[in-house]
Amino acid sequence: MDFTVVMAVVLCALTVPGFGDTGSGKAQSCSDIRQFYSGKGFNLNGVPQSEISGEHLRICPQGYTCCTSVMEDSLSNLSRTEMEGLIRDAGRALQASLNGQYKAFDDYFLDLLNRSESVLQESYNAALGSLYTQNTRVFSDLYTELRRYYRGSNINLEEVLNEFWARLLEKLFKGANGQYLIGDDYLECVSKQSETLRPFGDIPHDLKVKVTRTFVPARSFVQGLVVSGEVVRKVSQVPLSPECMRAIMKMTYCPHCRSLPSARPCASYCANVLKGCLANQADLNTEWRNLVDALMQVAVRFEGVSGVEVVVLSLPARILEAVTTMLDNIDTFNTKVFQACGNPREGGTSSTSLEELKKRKKVTLKDMTAEARVEKLISDVAWRLRDMQTYWVSLPSTLCSDRVATGTQANDKCWNGMTRARYLPEVMGDGLASQINNPEVEIDITKPDMTIRQQIMQLKIMTNRIKNAFNGNDVDFQDTSDDVSGSGSGMCTDENCPRGPRFMAPSTDRPKLYAYAPENKKVVKGSTNHNLPFIALYLLSLVTLVLWR
């Protein structure tokens, strides 16, 4: 055979295209992806009927394909929209959990205050008569200020309590000395004497310590839940990067372009893609766990004999005890005040007299012992908080296992980014710094997302404030966030919070790791290129045999 003819045959053979993964030599139909593409709401104009050469593709492998450039762009945008939707949905589910805890504790705490005030109103009217009915504002103002403080108003709790005792002393002194004309100047002198005479005994000091140790942590607890929800909302709305969009498209819809619609991404492949895409979010992990730990520590404080129920429900009894102490010793108190401030002028018109107060009825306040409700509430809150500790580092595996990837049992039949085969690269660690060698997503680890860094700082600030509150140090929450208020900003309503599955901590069993093979990304470029070396080798052997003959 003429050598020139033989070489021409070889060259022609080398340029004959191979089709699909089947090696059948026949272009495969694109009916599956046409149906799929139409089902996603796209127009079928320009969609191939059978596979075409894929040199135009910029994301998917450039072997024979059913996707045009327009289709690749459309599916790429769709994949980003869907993944961002999954991330937001996961965030809403976490917000719903936080909002549920916030609402449960908030309802519980406000109910305690309402019950406490109700008992005070019912009992004091019977115990003090006109002395109470003429001065109900003093007691109602105390509960109003306690509610405002709990809600996050910028007021000083110690000053609220001091103001209450000062006003109560004035009302009681004037009521016990109705026959005198007592002006503001004289009452100011009485107030100064109270520092040494201590008409209410040790109760104001004791109550201040207990109220502070209860209300400061309670306020910090609900504010911590508010800030947590706000952080989740903002971080869940951070858009995916262009590099991440390409990686998600390649993982999600390139199998359809390669006529492999049933091939789901390998679990380890999906893990690398989402660990890269959510690397900045994973960096929230440390401060997020610190905040959750602080919230759990504060929650435990609400239980027991010195817990929130005992303190709030004991307010009426302790205040009545203080009033009784003063009235029982009113003669001694009057004598010392008159000595220090002078005898007041007679001529008062009050119907309340000292003798009337001494004959007041002895009233036993309704028993309001703590219920088992608080133990169940705190137990539930602690369980839910513990459940969400690893949320940010668990998110990639949660999304992969629930919505995207195939099971580990199908390692040899999953989509590895190029074809249906085992995925070889090692799974990356969590966080931005661990993505320097991520084989699926190009990430500049020197440029963290600033929105997420700001939220990390918010978590750190909130954690420090909760720790201070746990130690009884009052803190101001007004500048915790640019749009967080004491009434629960950032917490979605029941109607807007979708119910979602709980996010469990990831399994401690790491996915099986395989030695990293750099060729995994570049060698397999499509079925046509994969078959050509074997065709060429066969033909060259045939030519050699012919020439030898």
Residues 6 or more apart from 58 whose CB is under 8 A from it? 69, 72
What are the CA-CA distances from residue 499 to residues 85, 91, 492, 502 (Å)?
15, 11, 12, 9
CA 420 to chain centre: 37
What residue segments make up the domains of the chain, in order of their start?
77-260+284-388
User: For residues 498 and 85, is the Cβ–Cβ distance under 8 A?
Assistant: no
d(CA 172, CA 339): 19
SS3 420: strand
Residues 6 or more apart from 525 whose CB is under 8 A from it? 61, 62, 63, 418
Tokens of 480: 């915790």
pTM of the model: 0.76
Tokens of 424: 């070889």
Residues 6 or more apart from 332 whose CB is under 8 A from it? none
Tokens of 253: 């819809």
Question: What radius of gyration, in Å, describes the C-alpha atoms of the chain?
Answer: 37
Residue 525: other Cβ atoms inside 10 A? 15
Look at residues 88, 83, 49 and name the one whose alpha carbon lies nearest to residue 66.
Answer: 49
d(CA 509, CA 408): 12
d(CA 135, CA 316): 15
Over its length of 549 residues, how does the chain's per-residue pLDDT go in tens digits?
Answer: 444 444 444 434 433 333 344 434 456 889 999 999 999 999 999 899 999 998 999 999 988 999 999 999 999 999 999 999 999 999 999 999 999 999 999 999 999 999 999 988 888 877 777 778 888 899 999 999 999 999 989 899 999 999 999 999 998 888 888 788 888 889 999 998 888 899 999 999 999 999 998 999 999 999 999 999 999 999 999 999 999 999 999 999 999 998 888 888 999 999 999 999 999 999 999 999 999 999 999 888 887 656 788 899 999 999 989 988 988 888 899 999 999 999 888 866 655 555 665 565 555 555 555 556 777 888 888 889 999 999 999 999 999 986 566 655 567 789 999 999 999 999 999 999 999 999 999 999 999 999 999 999 999 999 999 998 887 777 665 444 333 333 344 444 344 443 333 333 333 333 332 233 333 333 333 333 434 443 444 444 444 444 444
